[in-house]
Amino acid sequence: MRKEGLYMKRMLSGIKPTGRVTLGNYIGAIKPFVSYQDEYEMYIFIANLHSMTIYQKPADLRQNTRDLIALYIAAGLDPEKVTLFLQSDVLEHAQLGWYLGCMVSMGELSRMTQYKDKKAKNEVIGAGIFNYPSLMNADILMYDPDYVPVGEDQKQHVELCRDIAERFNSRYSETFKIPEPLVTKVGGRIMDLQNPTKKMSKSDEIGKGTIYILDDIQVSKKKIKSAVTDSDGHIHYDPENKPGISNLLEIYSILVNRSIADLEKQYDGKGYGEFKNDLAEVLGEELEKIQTRYHEIMSGSYLDDVLEKGAQKARIIARKKLAKVERKIGITIRKR
Ligand code: TYM
């Protein structure tokens, strides 16, 4: 049974609406969110301000944003239980992001892997990529969550957020709760199907290593069947020596909600072909369910209503928190 308000711990997380939603996002983030919604008070948002750190075609951004919110719901998030909102609808995020950006050092921001990876590519990068964690810190600290469920790649950002919260609290007195990153043991880092030593990402140049949730289902099944594995033919979980099959085992385990050990037992002595066929079927069924629901949600004005309601709820908390911060740091001068 769902516990009531005061007794529930709070969770917050977000996803950027850049590119199409991948199986990595689904397994590492969206599916865990759905599993937490009865246990926690949840705030889930679309990080559309963060998406501006890389140029987005306006029409694509609009489409990807609507797709993402519809996918959250299609995957099972219930807007009656979870507060779903757009980051840009709550103006306080950007303002708190500015204050927190003034409290983080250039050294700390330079150590962020996401920034370092982008820099290593030697392309021209905007200042937004560098300053990105400050806005993320604001997204999180604004709502005093106990936990921030994220994939492995975002853990470093949440750890920086903890440092900044502690810094603020010790400089200005207790203001923010120190959040904990929550990375699922299985599925926290889904790998590229063609190169299982690399994270599955939205920008998959060849196109065969990443599964997109809204893609043609037959194409996605094919990608599973042609995923790179190894030649020893034994279905066993060993991410270091058998990254391909281990990645598929993680995907399978999350999709059917069974342990990896259990799946290993079931497929003991069976070949990769049979395993991949079964996984392709399971994935196909899950995608079909999500896509059917997605199309229902996309027609009509349901999404707009959900976002409006979510923004109203989020704004109440955000306004209060920002006012508190501004009083503490000396920005507010009015007595009343
Ligand atoms: P983003 O949009 O890159 O990714 C959204 C979520 O999906 C997870 N993820 C993965 N998990 C497993 N395997 C993968 N291959 C994989 N790829 C992505 C990510 O870890 C993430 O949890 N900065 C964030 C968005 C953000 C945010 C926040 C998150 C902005 N503010 C506040 C939490 C709290 C991002 O770019 O996620």
Residue-level pLDDT at 3: 56
Which numbered atom of ligand 1 lies nearest the CA of 17?
A: 2
> Ligand 1 centre from 287 Cα, in Å?
20
Query: Is residue 205 classed exposed, middle or buried when 0-12, 13-18 and 19+ CB atoms within 10 A define those classes?
Result: exposed
Structural domain spans, the chain:
2-183+301-329, 217-296
Residue-level pLDDT at 4: 56
Query: For residue 125, which phi and psi values (nearest 5 degrees)?
Result: -120, 145
Which numbered atom of ligand 1 lies nearest the CA of 151?
A: 20
Judge whether 75 and 290 are in contact, CB under 8 Å.
yes
> Ligand 1 centre from 334 Cα, in Å?
39
Residue-level pLDDT at 294: 96
Distance CA(280)–CA(46), nearest Å, equals 29
Q: Kindly state the helix (H) or strand (E) to which residue 13 belongs, with its residue range.
A: strand 9-15
pLDDT tens digits, one per residue of 297-314: 998 889 999 999 999 999
- Fold classification of 217-296 is Tyrosyl-Transfer RNA Synthetase (1.10.240)
Residue-level pLDDT at 122: 78
Report the DSSP beta bridge partners of residue 44.
Answer: 13, 84
Q: Atom 4 of ligand 1 has which residue's CA nearest to it?
A: 15
- 65 Cβ inside 6 Å of ligand 1: no
Of 184, 135, 185, 182, the C-alpha closest to 161 is 135
Residue-level pLDDT at 222: 97
As a whole number of Å, the end-to-end CA separation of the chain is: 43
Residue 185 annotated among the catalytic residues of the structure: no
- 47 Cβ inside 6 Å of ligand 1: yes
pLDDT tens digits, one per residue of 159-210: 999 999 999 999 999 999 999 999 988 889 999 999 999 999 987 667 899 9
| Arch. (CATH architecture) of 2-183+301-329 | 3-Layer(aba) Sandwich (3.40)
Task: Please list the ranges in the chain whose pLDDT falls under 70.
Answer: 1-6, 204-205, 336
Judge whether 25 and 15 are in contact, CB under 8 Å.
yes
- List all residues 6 or more positions away from 270 whose beta carbon is below 8 Å from its beta carbon: 235
